[in-house]
Amino acid sequence: MKLATWNINSLTVRLPQVLEWLSSNPVDVLALQELKLTDDKFPHAAFKAAGYESVCFGQKTYNGVALISRTPAQDVVRNIPGFDDDLARVISGSFTLPASAGETTPATGGAVQTIRVVGAYFPNGQEPGSDKFEYKLAWLKGLRDWLRAELLVHPNLVLMGDYNITFDDADVWDPVGMKDQIHCTDEERYELNALVALGLVDAHRLFPQPAKSYSWWDYRDFGFRRNHGLRIDHILVSKALQPRVVACSIDKLPRKNERPSDHAPVVVALG
């Protein structure tokens, strides 16, 4: 089973690239961020024609998230219950999890397991000290409080999306120049680690990865060509799922397209 996340920076512009990517990368669930369109404009039919179900939570101009999947999402929830938010940033759904190889023990009794997928577009935060930064920290706290309870209900949980936070200097092309800047502040990293402390693990770092692995590159100044990037798109899996994670990678190929998103997809494989 494969899951992926991709901030596509306008689905209106990037739909052909998403469909092309899916045809080469037939994942089971793809979480999209920054749709930048309203629900009435969401191209359900185009995904259906490609063999995918879709649920969306759109918004005009900004934000907007969706889950694209082989089987229909169940028990879909939009945004963070308990955290009042005007912006469309989170969409969650449950999917059937195939039994792993050799898993025929009475423990599962052959029963179908489900996996809870939370797709999220974390706030950017703009600048430390700004109102948007305070909103980011409040949002992160709201997410954490909600996820703590969610993990009790859904032990098989994946939180993936555009986090807009780096874990540490290894995720930053210029850690000196970006010290204490947005995506790199102690406050943001505290919240990211607090999410991990709920019982999640960064799938990327479970495996050897190329040096200077990033998921976003600035459009300006030949950012991609010079690998001036940040790793801010993450897939965190719950402890219960961790033994099943067999691979995690960033697919830089779509960033080489003619009109690319500034983000690359991140893919995780579960055995």
Partner DNA sequence: ATGACTAAACCTTTTAGA
Q: Please identify every residue annotated as catalytic.
A: 121, 162
Give the count of residues interacting with DNA (CB under 7 A).
29
Cβ proximity of 6 and 20 under 8 Å:
no
* Ranges within 104-123 binding DNA (CB under 7 A): 123
Q: Report the residue from 5, 9, 54, 79 that binds DNA according to the rule CB under 7 A.
A: 9
Shortest distance (Å) from residue 208 CB to DNA:
25
What's the rounded Cα separation, in Å, for the pair 171 and 76? 32
Compute CA distances 48 → 23, 42, 51, 245, whole Å. 13, 12, 5, 28
Interaction between residue 234 and DNA (CB under 7 A) = no
Shortest distance (Å) from residue 240 CB to DNA:
30
Q: Three-state DSSP class for 146?
A: helix
Helix H or strand E encompassing 248 = strand 245-250
Interaction between residue 126 and DNA (CB under 7 A) = yes
Interaction between residue 61 and DNA (CB under 7 A) = yes
Interaction between residue 34 and DNA (CB under 7 A) = yes
Cβ proximity of 268 and 4 under 8 Å:
yes
Scanning the chain, the segments in alpha helix (DSSP H) are: 11-24, 44-49, 131-153, 186-197
Shortest distance (Å) from residue 233 CB to DNA:
9
What's the rounded Cα separation, in Å, for the pair 121 and 249? 19
- Site mask, DNA, residues 139-178, x = CB under 7 A? -----------------------x-x--------------
Chain positions contacting DNA, by CB under 7 A = 7, 9-10, 12-13, 34, 36-37, 60-62, 123-124, 126-127, 132, 162, 164, 182-183, 216, 218-221, 230, 232, 259, 262
